[in-house]
Structure 1
Amino acid sequence: MLEQVANGKLTKWLAPSMRVGWSMVETVLLTAAAVGIGLWLRPEDPMTLDADFRWILLVPLVIAMRYGGLVGVWAMLCLIGCWYVLKTSGLYAQQSFPEGAMLGGLVFTLVAGEFSDLWRVRLMRADSAASYSLERLKNLTQRFVLLRLSHDRLEENLLTKPYTVRDALFRLRSLALEESSDTALPAGDDLLGILAEYCQLQRAALYPCRDGVIDDRPVAVLGENRPLEKDNSLLAYAMENQLLAHVQQEKEESYHGAYLVAAPISNSAGKIIGVLVVERMPFLSVNFENLQLLSVLLNFYADVVYAGKDTHLLLERWSALPFQMARELVALGRLREEGKVETSLTLFVADDSEQAGLILDALARGLRSLDLAWWVSDRTLLIMMPMTGVSGLEGYVLRTEQWLQDEFAFMSLRQAGVRFFYRHMDTRSTEVQLAELLEAGGV
């Protein structure tokens, strides 16, 4: 019994949901059943109108508490109809209509019906609130489970890849790379050391490539490697498609080559300047994230080391553009085309006030680790922000405005006399995007 009360089965039976048709039929049947029992027990007074307590009035009272006041009134009408039927049959022929009993029964029925309707509404509200709370609890539980799984996956990833793309690009930029293309793969040893540290390479080699032909002599070697396998099918696939290839992409089941990964080193112009072959690396490191990081670093290295045609076009159009920024703009534009790295360009234009000039100087001094600045003019500053998407740029602007409030008591850049323009680099030409941003700032 208690179990039925707890799970709501008894409540649903005592106070079912309102169904008008069935409730009216049930009222007629209960009233007829009560009168029939009265005929069996008290044939001379089946409706107990002459008894000390009029038991027949319990029928509309129960109906009102079960279905509400409206159905309770229908029960009283059915009871009055039964009285007229009995009077017609001769049982109450000498008795007048019991107005007091029927009026009192109607009042009791209305009171019980109002009580039923009131608590029915309260129960519905409580049930709705409980259902909403249960739904929120389920959502929070699912989010907690997903967060826990994400945390566990993050711990697993940190065991195999404890570095971020931002750290790797910063380390790669900090290398003292030669700007000319006279040396084949300059700073190759340093590059291979960074790849070994960030991508967990154990045995690998860097080979220069001239006019599509791979040189047999490596410029940098990590560990003890075999001589170059020019007939290796994995290497041939990577060179033909100019894409990083690994053993899981190999179509031939009979592949028994020495290389696990083969990655061409190509600049933004599509020229292959070298190739990286990997003979050994941890099994857990052969995953999409790690191989994508490897490809990003190689592409960035190629564009930073070798200033291609796009870089020279930028320098010819804007001679004051720093050479390092021009190289990296082209490199980051290529990475954006491949959907790997997001980059934002911000332009600050100050008015003639001294305060605005001081703010621009402070912004130029407060660059982040990967950011580069270009003073387009004395009152115009362009900042290149690699690894910065929409949310990252919004955070930068909010921090800048908070800094303005704390240091200069300005609520925004515009109030401080500094106009702000930005562009998120897309797949279009870097020159076109840079020209649009400078034109928007009136430069």
Structure 2
Amino acid sequence: MRTLYNDYVVPLRTHTLSAWLETVFITVVAIGLGYSLSPQDPFLVAADFPWMLFAPLLVAVRYGLLAGLFSVSLILAGLLFSVEQQTHLPISYMVGLLLATFLAGEFHDLWLKKLILLQRANEYRQYRLDDFTRSYRLLQISHDDLELRIAGGNRSLRSTLQSLRRSLQAVEQSRQPDLANIAEQAMQIFSEHSAFTAAALYPVDAKQGIQLKALTVVGQMPQINIDDVLLKACLEAKRTVSIRDELLDKGENPSQLQVCVPLLDTEQNWVGILAIAQLPFFAMTEQTLNLLTLISGYIADALHANKAVMQLQDSHAQYFSQQLQRAVLNTHKYKLSAALCAFEMTNENSELQMLLEHSQRGLDLQLEVINNRGSHVLLVLLPLTRPTGVLSYLERINALVEQQFPDMNLARLAVTVRTFQLDQAQSAAVRQFVYQECGLNEQQLVV
């Protein structure tokens, strides 16, 4: 059997019709040559060397002992017929042909068996190599797919928050924002960024506690009770908890769940719990759990705003304050960078103000107010933005301004730019920047 990697294959069948025809042909040609060279002694018995030996020797080496014996039998039959006419029997010549043919045929058969054994062993190893190659290729494809999923998770934090914001805004426009109303949208966003196969979303009330009647379910979710170890740990600690990897490896899971994610607003008020029963091993990472916690926090903020924020007259200021508080919390808990930029315009310039408003990026938030100095201030929240990102943002703003107003820049247009990096900043420092440097008050923005 020929495979893709075999350069040579030993024939397993030597006694074929073509082999027998070639045996007869070689023998007849040898006798014919002897007859043409010496009609009186066609088998070259009287020659100094038994040249007729090469015919059965060649056949025996090529096709084995049986074919060699057939060839030497033809020669000996012709020799016996010739000897009957000449009344002379060359015994040593005949015995020599037989012995030489026996040796050549035995050599062929012995080495053919060894070659066939080696070929079988090679075919088996080749089969195992092909099987290993297919398995390796499948594993490589699975690994590439896993890398794409993980890469998708890395790229998706900004786009996730954007889609979450759009979903919540759509719900707010259609009905009263409530966890029951946005349960399906929330579960869809959770599933897109964690790949769980079984999960449920449960509401939590500050007075009555968790309600074990799920608002929405994905997959085959087991029936859980209030005494579940993981569920109790999540309710008590108010943080995301998961089963340790070593317990899963040993098959020792004291809970029916693998992960519990709390939905808590910035003031740690309960909204609900995401209970995950089946999560793929590649998704059981700190990055995935942090992403789920971030998403749950934004959902909780959209549903429960603190009283100080709700007292603001402007709904845009309420939403901006809410997102600013969440950004500050994320910088402390998850080391996510964020920044504030304030553009204070001493002279009113509607064209410049419109240019700054249209420069808003997808995840950024803007709030336009008038500070206590009587100047228009455009406050911009830049989530997930490092200091280098802030510099790039300001460079882009300057380029837009120079394009719109030739030979001018922000300074010449009487615009004061202030920036503040939220990373590891204390709430007091944020309030000082907003209230003192930017000139705002607590009726305009809550920090």
TM-score range, shorter chain: 0.5 to 0.7
Question: TM-score, structure 2 length as denominator?
Answer: 0.58
Q: Which amino acid aligns with 2:388?
A: S
1:259 corresponds to 2:218: no
d(CA) in 2 for partners of 1:286, 1:210: 28
**Highest Rg: 1 or 2?**
2
1:385–1:192 Cα change, 3 Å: same
After superposition, residues 86-105 of structure 1 pair within 5 angstroms as none
d(CA) in 1 for partners of 2:394, 2:144: 29
- Find the residue that maps to 1:199 and give its secondary structure: coil
Q: Which residue of 1 aligns with 2:192?
A: 197
- Find the residue that maps to 2:417 and give its secondary structure: strand
1:384 corresponds to 2:381: yes
Cα deviation, 1:327-353, whole Å, max 9, x if unaligned, reads: 212222221221343221111111326
Q: Which amino acid aligns with 1:343?
A: A
Contact kept, 8 Å, 2:198 with 2:220, in 1: the verdict is yes
d(CA) in 1 for partners of 2:303, 2:166: 12
Question: TM-score, structure 1 length as denominator?
Answer: 0.58
1:320–1:208 Cα change, 3 Å: closer
- Find the residue that maps to 2:410 and give its secondary structure: coil
Q: Which residue of 1 aligns with 2:221?
A: 225
d(CA) in 2 for partners of 1:236, 1:251: 18
Residue 424 of structure 1 and its aligned partner are, at CA, apart by 1.7
Q: Which residue of 1 aligns with 2:238?
A: 242
Partner residue of 1:371 out of 361, 364, 376: 364
1:181–1:326 Cα change, 3 Å: farther
1:196–1:416 Cα change, 3 Å: same
Residue 256 of structure 1 and its aligned partner are, at CA, apart by 4.0
Gaps of 5+ in 1: 1-152
After superposition, residues 36-75 of structure 1 pair within 5 angstroms as none
- Find the residue that maps to 2:193 and give its secondary structure: helix
d(CA) in 2 for partners of 1:344, 1:269: 21
Residue 419 of structure 1 and its aligned partner are, at CA, apart by 0.9
Contact kept, 8 Å, 2:242 with 2:259, in 1: the verdict is yes
- Find the residue that maps to 2:292 and give its secondary structure: helix
d(CA) in 2 for partners of 1:299, 1:364: 27
1:345–1:407 Cα change, 3 Å: same
Deviates further, 402-411 or 370-379: 402-411
Contact kept, 8 Å, 1:161 with 1:290, in 2: the verdict is no
1:428–1:250 Cα change, 3 Å: farther
Count of residues in correspondence between the two structures: 286
Q: Which residue of 1 aligns with 2:343?
A: 348
Cα deviation, 1:196-247, whole Å, max 9, x if unaligned, reads: 0122122110001113621021111112312223222122222221111112
Partner residue of 2:201 out of 197, 206, 221: 206
d(CA) in 2 for partners of 1:300, 1:157: 27
Contact kept, 8 Å, 1:186 with 1:305, in 2: the verdict is no
Q: Which amino acid aligns with 1:335?
A: N
Residue 430 of structure 1 and its aligned partner are, at CA, apart by 5.4
Contact kept, 8 Å, 1:310 with 1:330, in 2: the verdict is no
Alpha-carbon RMSD across the aligned residues, in angstroms, is 3.0
1:154–1:219 Cα change, 3 Å: same
d(CA) in 1 for partners of 2:401, 2:179: 48
Cα deviation, 1:280-338, whole Å, max 9, x if unaligned, reads: 122211111111111111112111221124524xx44x757522212212222221221
d(CA) in 2 for partners of 1:184, 1:173: 15
Q: Which residue of 1 aligns with 2:400?
A: 403
After superposition, residues 124-139 of structure 1 pair within 5 angstroms as none
Q: Which amino acid aligns with 2:202?
A: Y
Gaps of 5+ in 2: 1-142, 441-447
d(CA) in 2 for partners of 1:394, 1:154: 35
